[in-house]
Chains A and B, each alone.
Chain A
Amino acid sequence: MEYIVETNQLTKRFGKEIAVDRVDMRIPKGEIYGFLGPNGAGKTTTIRMLLGLMKPSFGSVQVFQKFLNEDRLNILKKVGSLVENPSYYPHLTAYENLEALRKVYGIPKSSITEVLELVRLSDVGNKKVKGFSLGMKQRLGIASALLHNPELLILDEPTNGLDPSGIIEIRNLIKRLPAERGITILISSHLLSEIDQIATTVGVLNKGHLIFQDTIERMREYSKQKVLLSVSDREHAWQSLVAAGIKAELHNGMISLKEKSDEKVAQAVRSLVHNDFSIYRVEEEKGSLEGIFLEMTTEEKSL
């Protein structure tokens, strides 16, 4: 498989603290890679190392199959990024902000009007950014990242601080990009719901460890529903089920059935009633992605 981003044992230490710990990130071409992790997991630190803003304490970064420490300038020509809060010059207009970047990329002026159009800032292009709303600044940040038509787009929490309509707008914009421009996207977030809606591949970072990395479908498989039984004398009830050859687990004071077909559930209930256990509740828990995410990040063990 062709990886656009590939890190090997990427590690960053700040004094004693290890913010990023031996991360092997793999981003296949054309994917939207959702980079998930709770606050302080090390997402921004990883992204900074991908861009060469920080030097890794250990390990290496390859982008477009070239080592970042050897080919940094050639790589960065094809990478657009928005790290944490957007950087902008408040005393300049939106157009001038983009013009400052354009001068360095040495691309035609028409690209400025194009990206302003794309993020719907054309009307305010000649206004100073100082007076922009948070959402407008964020969109300008995305415009800056897209200005030179990059092949890899790195967005660190791009919807931070946006209202719901702003979030939807940015999400739709991001979703369109791989198809329209053939770019690969890395998007970080601490909200699973956000990643769930746009990502095709997911990486979960927790306390500096990459604890999961696979397609979004594989991630969803972990979230299959469970059937839970609340019963009297659960210890014995569970033993009787297992004795009857029914696959079950004791879980948080409930019995959790491993096989969830109607027939298997009916069989379990019948067996319990038959053995004189009282059944208080039979419930179905729709394991959400949120649930697995929390499970993954609290248990802190590798899947």
Chain B
Amino acid sequence: MIGKLVAQDVLKIKRKGIWFLTFLGPFGVVALQMVNYGVRKAYLLQQSDDDWAYYISNVSAFSPFALILGIAILTSFMASIENETNGWKQLTALPVSKMAIYLSKFTVLVMLLFLSSILLALFSLSYGVFLNLGDEIPYLELLKYSIYPFLASLPVLALQLWVATVSKNQGIPITVGVFGVILSYSAYVLPDWMIWKWPSLLNQWNEPMINVLFGLTFGAILYVIGMVDFMRRDVK
């Protein structure tokens, strides 16, 4: 059942610019470094002995922010496809459970964001190689700093999907999204418990894995809460 719905959702996001955004996000993040290194490469290379590590830290200064922004945009696009002509009622009248409908939306979003993360790793790698940062390419670190923020951002995704699907007024998810983006931009000063800080992988213990585990756990919890609320509500 879920496979059919995912196939349906993939068809529905056609021509909506969603695939383009999935590509644009990671590209934009690396493009910022292209400008950065393009303008002052010599200076930046002086800053550290490990040029790859320094480069990765530069890239990941912007990726959490792009991720949160991407989540806000993608979830609201996803919801708007159904809200536009109240597709929810047609969807709910199909022989599928509301649980599956919600799970399918979440699955497609996770797939898109995961793809974005992989693209981020690929783009970072390519530009790093182009910059000639050294022969010892830290593949694992590159992957880690692309995938970890995504896993740590799952609670934000679950929250945004929930708000976007149950709000009658689409101003609400957009407001939540904008706040999230602003918060993620100021991750340094946020307390550790705020979910918008987690994709930055910062915490008082200096252990990114903590954010990943919290992301997975609270992502699952917020997902279940959102889904139960969605199932409980009447469809207009």
Q: Which residues of A contact B (CB under 8 A)?
A: 48, 51-55, 73-74, 76-77, 79, 81, 83-92, 96, 99-101, 103-106, 144
**Closest 10 pairs between A and B when the two form their complex, measured CB to CB:** A87-B90, A76-B95, A53-B235, A54-B234, A77-B95, A73-B95, A87-B87, A103-B8, A51-B93, A91-B15
Chain A residue at minimal CB-CB distance from B5: A104
Asked if B92 is at the interface of the complex by the 8 Å CB criterion, the answer is yes
Asked if B225 is at the interface of the complex by the 8 Å CB criterion, the answer is no
Asked if B85 is at the interface of the complex by the 8 Å CB criterion, the answer is yes
- Do the beta carbons of A83 and B5 come within 8 Å of each other? no
- Do the beta carbons of A73 and B97 come within 8 Å of each other? yes
- Do the beta carbons of A96 and B85 come within 8 Å of each other? no
A87 to B14, CA, bound (A): 17
Please report which residues of chain B, range 193-236, place their CB below 8 angstroms from some CB of chain A when the two chains form the complex.
234-235
Q: Which residues of B contact A (CB under 8 A)?
A: 4-5, 7-8, 11-12, 14-16, 81, 84-90, 92-97, 234-235
Contacts A74-B95, A81-B93 hold; do A106 and B4 have CB atoms under 8 A apart? yes
How far, in Å, is A147 (CB) from chain B's closest CB? 11
- Do the beta carbons of A92 and B95 come within 8 Å of each other? no
- Do the beta carbons of A76 and B7 come within 8 Å of each other? no
Contacts A85-B86, A89-B12, A104-B8 hold; do A52 and B96 have CB atoms under 8 A apart? no
How far, in Å, is A48 (CB) from chain B's closest CB? 7
A86 to B87, CA, bound (A): 9
A79 partner residues in chain B, CB cutoff 8 A: 93
- Do the beta carbons of A96 and B14 come within 8 Å of each other? yes
- Do the beta carbons of A87 and B89 come within 8 Å of each other? yes
Contacts A85-B85, A89-B81, A96-B14 hold; do A52 and B92 have CB atoms under 8 A apart? yes
A85 partner residues in chain B, CB cutoff 8 A: 85-86
A77 partner residues in chain B, CB cutoff 8 A: 95
CB contact between B4 and one of A53, A74, A81, A103 (< 8 Å): that residue: A103
B93 partner residues in chain A, CB cutoff 8 A: 51-53, 76, 79, 81, 83
How far, in Å, is B92 (CB) from chain A's closest CB? 5
CB contact between B89 and one of A55, A83, A96 (< 8 Å): that residue: A83
Task: Pick 10 A–B contacts, CB within 8 A, sort by A.
Answer: A48-B89, A73-B95, A84-B89, A87-B85, A89-B81, A89-B85, A91-B14, A104-B8, A104-B95, A104-B96
Contacts A87-B89, A89-B12 hold; do A76 and B235 have CB atoms under 8 A apart? no
- Do the beta carbons of A104 and B11 come within 8 Å of each other? no
A105 to B235, CA, bound (A): 21
CB contact between B11 and one of A54, A84, A103 (< 8 Å): that residue: A103
B5 partner residues in chain A, CB cutoff 8 A: 104
How far, in Å, is A135 (CB) from chain B's closest CB? 16
Contacts A85-B86, A89-B81, A91-B14 hold; do A53 and B8 have CB atoms under 8 A apart? no
A86 to B85, CA, bound (A): 7
Contacts A76-B93, A87-B90 hold; do A92 and B11 have CB atoms under 8 A apart? yes
A159 to B88, CA, bound (A): 22
How far, in Å, is B12 (CB) from chain A's closest CB? 6
- Do the beta carbons of A99 and B235 come within 8 Å of each other? no
B89 partner residues in chain A, CB cutoff 8 A: 48, 53, 83-84, 87
Contacts A77-B95, A81-B93, A87-B85 hold; do A92 and B8 have CB atoms under 8 A apart? no
How far, in Å, is A5 (CB) from chain B's closest CB? 15
- Do the beta carbons of A92 and B14 come within 8 Å of each other? yes
- Do the beta carbons of B90 and A144 come within 8 Å of each other? yes
B94 partner residues in chain A, CB cutoff 8 A: 76, 101, 104-105
A106 to B92, CA, bound (A): 16
CB contact between A96 and one of B7, B11, B81 (< 8 Å): that residue: B11
- Do the beta carbons of A53 and B92 come within 8 Å of each other? yes
How far, in Å, is B195 (CB) from chain A's closest CB? 32
B81 partner residues in chain A, CB cutoff 8 A: 89
CB contact between A100 and one of B12, B15, B16 (< 8 Å): that residue: B12
Chain B residue at minimal CB-CB distance from A99: B11
A52 to B8, CA, bound (A): 21
- Do the beta carbons of B84 and A90 come within 8 Å of each other? yes
Chain A residue at minimal CB-CB distance from B16: A91
- Do the beta carbons of B235 and A48 come within 8 Å of each other? yes
Given contacts A89-B87, A104-B95, A105-B94, 5 further A-B contacts (CB under 8 A): A51-B92, A53-B235, A74-B95, A85-B86, A99-B11
